[in-house]
């Protein structure tokens, strides 16, 4: 049984010149998260989305941008509406059906 997905996500990265480029589009399970952290100075939003990608060869790194859906051209990318990858954990143990990348983004 394969991992259930509810859409696609596109990974965008900046090069050494600060230009945006599309790394890839992957099937994913995307869940919006409504969580808050209590800080000394008040409440702050925590992760905005938890994302699971069943392809462990997906190229995703901390500080990349992630967009729900497929971008076919970088001109469609808006960094103000994209989420930033805060964590990307490759879980490559167990059977192939269980292996995935877990992403926290805000």
Using DSSP bridges, classify how beta strands 83-91 and 65-68 pair: parallel, antiparallel or unpaired. Answer: antiparallel
pLDDT digits (tens, 9 = 90+) for 47-89: 589 999 999 999 999 999 999 999 999 999 999 999 999 999 9
pLDDT at 104: 94
Q: What is the mean pLDDT of the chain?
A: 89
pLDDT at 36: 59
pLDDT at 33: 75
Burial (CB count <10 Å: 0-12, 13-18, 19+), residue 102: middle
Asked whether the predicted pLDDT for residue 43 surpasses 70, the reply is no
């Amino acid at each position: 049984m394969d991992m259930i997905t509810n859409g696609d996500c596109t990974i965008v990265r900046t090069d050494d010149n600060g230009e945006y480029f599309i790394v890839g589009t992957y099937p994913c399970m995307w869940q919006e998260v409504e969580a808050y952290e209590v800080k000394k100075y008040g409440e702050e939003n925590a992760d905005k989305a938890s994302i699971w990608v069943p392809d462990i060869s997906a190229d995703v790194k901390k500080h990349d941008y992630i967009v729900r859906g497929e971008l076919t051209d970088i001109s469609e990318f808006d960094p103000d509406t994209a989420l930033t990858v805060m964590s990307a954990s490759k879980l490559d143990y167990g059977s192939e059906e269980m292996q995935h990348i877990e992403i926290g983004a805000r």
